[in-house]
Amino acid sequence: MSIKPEIRIAGDGQAWAHEAATFLRSICDHAIRARGRMLIALSGGSTPRTLYRTLAQPEWKRRCEWPRLHFLFGDERCVPPDHPESNFGMADRELFQPIGIPPAQISRMKGELPEPMEAAWQYEDTLRSLTDCRPPDMPEIDLILLGLGEDGHTASLFPGTEALNDRSHLVTVGRAPAGIALRLTLTLGVINRASVVLFLVTGSGKASMVRRVVEPQSEADRALPAARVSPASGRLIWMLDQSAAAQLRTA
């Protein structure tokens, strides 16, 4: 049974970035009060980059309890960490280095390994160790950040691919239809076990897909990867700007 998503709409540009940063901080504060630390899985892409740059500004560096955060990744391209399209590389440049996050607080996916499935298995072990979770249970991540592709993909779960239906692993190998094909990605089982899933979406180019995912009208809409994100007992939140929310009927 799908849960009803929470929709938050801010202005475009810096107004969205400020509200997204404020909201993320509130989620972090709640998790830290409840559990003493925060496990957050980051996303790649231009919209998360905007958020990371905002969080790295001096005013935000002082507002967050960075030492209590541990950073994970929702997906990664199968490239070395210094590759220009590495999700880790982007987060390192825009967030980790400016804030001074030590390596001990970062668990990255090793996209450079010659066997992607080996990298997936290693990351699965990392997730289980960090959450003290044994098979067949799913680990609970406090917050997973997700983006939305124009084809409805999220993380590296693309329409019509095997990774979308992988129920045997926490982390698997995804295949993109364009660009760097091989990816590492969290599976839907892990995403849907999260305490909070936060979609970060901006821009008019995403408005049509936002409507299809948030307000599905057909089985094709409901089959989209992003539409299959529905945390079992957590919160599902969409942080949109005015442009991305423009076609929503209930906005």
CA distances from 221 to 137, 193, 209, 217, 228 (A): 29, 22, 9, 6, 10
Q: What is the pLDDT of residue 2?
A: 64
Residue 189 lies in a domain: yes
Residue 174 lies in a domain: yes
Mean pLDDT of the chain: 95
User: How many structural domains is the chain composed of?
Assistant: 1
Residue 219 lies in a domain: no
Domain around 170: 24-200+227-236
Residue 208 lies in a domain: no
Residue 82: Cβ-neighbour burial (10 angstroms; 0-12, 13-18, 19+): exposed
Q: What is the pLDDT of residue 4?
A: 86
Residue 250 lies in a domain: no
Cα(64)–Cα(78) distance, rounded to whole angstroms?
A: 31
**Please, what is the Cα angle at 187 between 225 and 193, to 5 degrees?**
95
Q: What are phi and psi of 69, to 5 degrees?
A: -100, 140
Residue 69 lies in a domain: yes
Residue 251 lies in a domain: no
Q: What is the pLDDT of residue 134?
A: 95
Minimum mean pLDDT among 51-65, 137-151, 203-217: which range?
51-65
| pTM of the full structure | 0.97
Average of per-residue pLDDT across 110-119? 98
Q: What is the pLDDT of residue 61?
A: 84
Q: What is the pLDDT of residue 251?
A: 60
Q: What is the pLDDT of residues 146-185, one digit of tens each?
A: 999 999 999 999 999 999 999 999 999 999 999 999 999 9
Cα(4)–Cα(30) distance, rounded to whole angstroms?
A: 21
Residue 12 lies in a domain: no
- C-beta of residue 85 within 8 angstroms of C-beta of residue 79: yes
Kindly report the CATH number assigned to the domain that includes residue 169.
Answer: 3.40.50.1360
- C-beta of residue 132 within 8 angstroms of C-beta of residue 185: no
Q: What is the pLDDT of residues 15-39, one digit of tens each?
A: 999 999 999 999 999 999 999 999 9
Q: Which two tokens stand for residue 194?
A: 């999260």
- C-beta of residue 195 within 8 angstroms of C-beta of residue 235: yes
